[in-house]
A and B are shown apart, each in its own frame.
Chain A
Amino acid sequence: MSSITLNNLTLGYERRPAVHHLSGVFSSGSMTAVIGPNGSGKSTLVKGITGFLRPLDGTIDRGGLKKQQIAYLPQRLEVDRSFPITVLDTVLLGLWPEIGIFSGMQPKHWRRVEQAMETVGLSGFESRSINELSGGQFQRVMFARMSLQDAPVLILDEPFSAVDQQTIADLMTVIQQWHGEGRTILVVVHDFNLVREAFPQSLLLAREPIAWGETANVLTEENLARSRAMAQAWDQEAEICRREGE
């Protein structure tokens, strides 16, 4: 239903692969942590799945979902934080898939907005301007917006990179809630402890896929050592890859 299948997927920039020959399935309703050292292709993979980047080779099967049905929180938001807009209006953008350019808000929408604001702990902040918010609060706003998108697949790229422990705990609760609702979830994370605690599935990347499956089987010392070694290898004189699909 809302599973995502990768077939021999290669993604990259200027013909250099950042994700190399990756095959596998993010099954419907699964919750996967995407981990790996810097430069291992995590963000690239996420951009490929959300349709921001075209594959160099291989395919992505989104199981009949349109790209718009995948909610995506990029790592470096190109959001203009000085833009004159209130917290409420920012959160309301999450309803775009439903109300689009012209429709108005209905009572059921307002109820959902209220609920979303409460879930992320921002009730009472509605009329604040977003440039008054701290980094953690702004991330809560982004989570509330994602909630409203009501997407079957949610992809978050390092949502916890600059927020404190309390915010991480609160936002993890929100993610757990999405998981409980049967949505498919992909999160790029750096904190291995968090992955062990909260994520049933993991994908360890180092340009090549190192391991993919149950978190306990993926996060082994051996796999981690391999991933570090592979991410550092960078061949300036690389030849054209002729490997067939695996």
Chain B
Amino acid sequence: MNTFVDICLSPFQEFLFMRHALVACFALALGCGPVGMLLVLRRMSLMGDALSHAVLPGAAIGFLVSGLSLYSMTIGGIVVGLLVALIAGLVSRYTSLREDASFAALYLVSIAVGVLIISLRGTNVDLIHVLFGTILAVDDPALILVASITSLTLFTLAFIYRPLLVECFDPDYLKSVGGHGGAMHSLFLVLVVLNLVAGFTALGTLMAVGMLMLPAASAHFWGNQYWTTSLVAVCIAMFSGYCGLLLSYHFNLPTGPSIILVAGGCYLFSLVFGRKGSLLSRYQPGSHLTG
């Protein structure tokens, strides 16, 4: 019993930074689960990835202006992330280039710009900070930021739940009954950018998208309705955050990658053992029903 407490609980009892990190992970998980699930369902996983890199130059400009300051980097990230989403949307709408290609083009450019800007003023350490995050240094303002973004995300999702899901399932029908599909799509992209920025303060631009995509991709193998899969995604994300923190504490590993690797482990497990469409259900169908 004592060893269980020693291993699983005492790191959080003893150290404030561990508690902060854990709360940050839980808050992130609550927002990233449902948003990531929608990205998977809308076949926009790669766009999530592209957008996460698009946040980088914005954060870099914030960094250029006022160093490693939470607020300027956050605002920079949000502004540039939304700008890139807007430009990619416009390019795919008014030219013959498809949306995924235009996102890919923009993200390659933006990651180059981002790295360039940071190296103009900072050191390699700063670059590592921005790319891989500093979850163990999450302080009260950062925590409040992450929690606010999560709350805003959940409220917005609750508000536009029906049209957003219908737009995803049967866009023509939503259009024929006069729903505002385009507006829902835009609002959703804003949520994606916000959650990426929240993840970026904790996990860095490279890892933020992991918290969004990996739990959602794993949950896809378990539920058969949007809200159940989202719930599973949230649980997997929380579990990954908790285990990742413990792993990094006990074995002295970098935190961000530990968290993402636990999520990756959950993904592999779901891929093989999931209830719906997994490898196991494909090659070992088990007993079939009577009708």
Which residues on the B side are within 8 Å of A96 (C-beta)?
166, 177, 179
Which residues on the B side are within 8 Å of A85 (C-beta)?
165, 169, 225-226
Which residues on the B side are within 8 Å of A90 (C-beta)?
169
Are A79 and B169 in contact, with the CB atoms below 8 A?
Answer: yes
Are B178 and A80 in contact, with the CB atoms below 8 A?
Answer: no
Are B172 and A74 in contact, with the CB atoms below 8 A?
Answer: yes
Within B149-165, which residues are at the interface with A (CB < 8 Å)? Answer: 160, 162-163, 165
Which residues on the B side are within 8 Å of A67 (C-beta)?
176, 178
A101 to B171, CA, bound (A): 15
Instruction: Verify if B170 is at the interface (C-beta below 8 Å from A).
Output: yes
Q: Contact residue range for chain A?
A: 20 to 34
Within B78-126, which residues are at the interface with A (CB < 8 Å)? Answer: none
A97 to B, closest residue via Cβ? B177
Are A70 and B176 in contact, with the CB atoms below 8 A?
Answer: yes
A80 to B163, CA, bound (A): 15
Taking chain A's interface residues, is the majority helix, strand, or loop, or is none over half, making it mixed? Answer: mixed
Instruction: Verify if B173 is at the interface (C-beta below 8 Å from A).
Output: yes
Instruction: Verify if B46 is at the interface (C-beta below 8 Å from A).
Output: no
Pick the contact of B175 from A52, A93, A101 — CB < 8 Å? Answer: A52
Q: Mark B40-79, 1 if CB is under 8 A from A, else 0.
A: 0100000000000000000000000000000000000000
Q: Mark A18-49, 1 if CB is under 8 A from B, else 0.
A: 00000000000000000000000000000000
Q: Mark B200-238, 1 if CB is under 8 A from A, else 0.
A: 000000000000000000000001111011000000000
Residues of A within 8 A of B (CB): 50, 52, 66-68, 70-72, 74, 77-80, 83-86, 89-90, 93, 96-97, 101, 129, 145, 149
With A84-B41, A129-B224 already in contact, 12 other A-B pairs whose C-beta atoms are closer than 8 Å: A52-B175, A66-B178, A67-B176, A68-B177, A68-B178, A72-B176, A78-B170, A78-B172, A80-B41, A80-B170, A85-B225, A101-B160
